[in-house]
Amino acid sequence: MDIEKARERVRELTRQINEHNYRYYVLDQPSVSDYAYDNLLAELISLEKAHPVLQSKNSPSQRVGGQVTKKFPVVKHTYPMLSLGNTYSREELLLFDQRVDRALKEPCEYVCELKFDGVAIGLTYLNGELTRAVTRGDGIQGDEVTENVKTIRSIPLSLDRPGLPPEFEVRGEVIMPHSSFLELNRDKEQEGQPIFANPRNAASGSLKLQDSALVAKRGLDCYSYGLLAPGLPFPTHWDSIQALKTWGFKVAGLTTICRNIDEVFEFIGQCDAQRKALPFDIDGVVIKVNSLAQQEKLGFTSKSPRWAISFKFRAERAMTRLLDVTYQVGRTGAITPVAILEKVAVAGSMVKRASLYNAGKMTELGLHRNDLVYVEKGGDIIPKIVGVDISSRKAGASEIQFITSCPECGTRLRRLDGEALHYCPDNDHCPPQIAGKIEHFIGRRAMNIESLGQGRTVLLVEKNKIRNIADLYDLTYKDLIGLEKVITDPLTHKQRRVSFREKTTRNILRAIEASKKTAFERVLYALGIRHLGESMAKKLARHFCSLDALMEASQNVLLEVEEVGEKTANSIIDYFRNVENLRMIERLKAAGLRFQTGTAAGGGEKPFSGQSFVVSGVFEHYSRDGIKQLIEEQGGELKSSISSKTSYLVAGKNMGPEKRKKAEALNIPIIREDELLQLVKQ
- SS3 assignment, position 319: strand
pLDDT at 489 over 80: no
At residue 24, the pLDDT reads 62
| Spatial contact of 394 and 379, defined as CB atoms under 8 Å apart | no
φ, ψ (nearest 5 deg) of residue 61:
-70, -15
Sign of the Cα torsion 342, 346, 351, 355 reads negative
pLDDT per residue as tens digits for the range 526-568: 999 988 888 789 889 888 889 999 999 999 999 988 778 888 9
| Spatial contact of 67 and 215, defined as CB atoms under 8 Å apart | no
pLDDT at 28 over 60: no
At residue 274, the pLDDT reads 86
130 half-sphere exposure, CB direction, 13 A CA radius: 30
Pairing mode of beta strands 110-116, 282-289: antiparallel
pLDDT at 34 over 70: no
pLDDT at 70 over 70: no
Q: How many helices and strands in the chain, by DSSP H and E?
A: 25, 24
Contacts of 207 (CB under 8 A, 6+ apart): 119, 135, 145, 148, 149, 174, 215, 220
Highest mean pLDDT: which range of 64-68, 214-218, 312-316? 214-218
Q: Say how far apart CA 148 and CA 223 lie, in whole Å.
A: 16
Report the share of the chain in percent with pLDDT over 70.
Answer: 92
pLDDT per residue as tens digits for the range 607-651: 787 788 999 888 877 777 778 878 877 878 888 778 888 899 999
Closest CA to 283 of 114, 87, 93: 114
Round to the nearest angstrom and report the end-to-end CA distance of the chain. 36
Sign of the Cα torsion 52, 56, 60, 65 reads positive
| Spatial contact of 210 and 391, defined as CB atoms under 8 Å apart | no
| Spatial contact of 153 and 175, defined as CB atoms under 8 Å apart | no
pLDDT per residue as tens digits for the range 433-460: 888 899 899 988 889 887 787 578 888 9
φ, ψ (nearest 5 deg) of residue 114:
-65, 140
- Chain-wide mean pLDDT for the chain? 86
Q: Say how far apart CA 271 and CA 278 lie, in whole Å.
A: 10
What is the DSSP secondary-structure string of 148-183?
A: HHTT-TTS-SB---TT--SEEEEEEEEE--HHHHHH
Count CB atoms within 10 A of the CB of residue 119.
Answer: 24
pLDDT at 308 over 90: yes
Highest mean pLDDT: which range of 248-262, 312-326, 488-502? 248-262
Contacts of 238 (CB under 8 A, 6+ apart): 111, 257, 290
Among 9-18, 162-171, 175-184, name the one with the lowest average pLDDT. Answer: 9-18
Q: Is pLDDT larger for residue 129 or for residue 20? A: 129
Beta bridge partners of 223: 173
Average pLDDT over residues 383-398: 88
Q: Is pLDDT larger for residue 50 or for residue 554? A: 554
Count CB atoms within 10 A of the CB of residue 347.
Answer: 17
| pLDDT range class, residue 603, cuts 50, 70, 90 | very low
Q: Say how far apart CA 535 and CA 544 lie, in whole Å.
A: 15
| Spatial contact of 504 and 494, defined as CB atoms under 8 Å apart | no
Among 32-41, 171-180, 273-282, 488-497, name the one with the lowest average pLDDT. Answer: 488-497
Contacts 24+ apart (CB under 8 A), 229-233: 229/165, 229/167, 229/168, 229/169, 230/165, 231/165, 232/165, 232/168, 232/292, 233/163
* Residue 522 DSSP symbol: H
pLDDT per residue as tens digits for the range 361-376: 899 999 998 999 999 8
Count CB atoms within 10 A of the CB of residue 41.
Answer: 21
Highest mean pLDDT: which range of 25-34, 409-418, 579-588? 579-588
Q: Distance of alpha carbon 445 from its chain centroid, rounded?
A: 17
Closest CA to 574 of 584, 582, 565, 562: 582
- Report, as residue numbers or ranges, the catalytic residues: 115
At residue 17, the pLDDT reads 82
Q: What angle do CA 532, 534, 540 make, to 5 degrees?
A: 65
| Spatial contact of 213 and 66, defined as CB atoms under 8 Å apart | yes
Q: Say how far apart CA 91 and CA 245 lie, in whole Å.
A: 34
Closest CA to 150 of 21, 27, 244, 64: 64
At residue 40, the pLDDT reads 80
Average pLDDT over residues 328-354: 85
Average pLDDT over residues 143-155: 91
Q: Say how far apart CA 220 and CA 212 lie, in whole Å.
A: 12
Identity of residue 86: N
Report yes or no on whether pTM surpasses 0.75. Answer: no
Q: Say how far apart CA 288 and CA 236 lie, in whole Å.
A: 11
Domains of the chain: 3-64 (1.10.287.610), 74-312 (3.30.470.30), 317-415 (2.40.50.140), 431-517 (1.10.150.20), 520-602 (1.10.150.20), 612-681 (3.40.50.10190)
| Spatial contact of 110 and 290, defined as CB atoms under 8 Å apart | yes
Average pLDDT over residues 64-78: 71
pLDDT at 606 over 50: yes
pLDDT at 19 over 90: no
